[in-house]
Amino acid sequence: MNSKKNDQRYQELLIEKKELEKNRPHGIDEMRRWKHSMGKILQELELYNK
């Protein structure tokens, strides 16, 4: 059952990453928030690749 939750979370992260890539901002403050969010997603995705 835990594996199913992990797979579901992994898929959610991929969707969030794709949305962020599609909606990249151009303002400085928005870009900082975007970069922080993307960093968190990539960090969590990296855990699944180990």
pLDDT of residue 15: 97
CA torsion 35-38-42-44 (nearest 10°) is 110
Cα(5)–Cα(34) distance, rounded to whole angstroms? 26
Contact present, 34 and 25 (Cβ < 8 Å): yes
pTM of the entire predicted model = 0.82
Q: Where on the phi/psi map is residue 7: left (φ > 0), alpha (ψ -120 to 50), or beta? A: alpha
pLDDT of residue 48: 87
Read off the pLDDT of residues 5-50 as tens digits, 9 standing for 90 and up.
Answer: 889 999 999 999 999 999 999 999 999 999 999 999 999 999 988 6
Angle at which helices 28-48 and 2-22 cross, to 10°: 150
Domain interval for residue 26: 2-48
Domains in the chain: how many in total?
Answer: 1
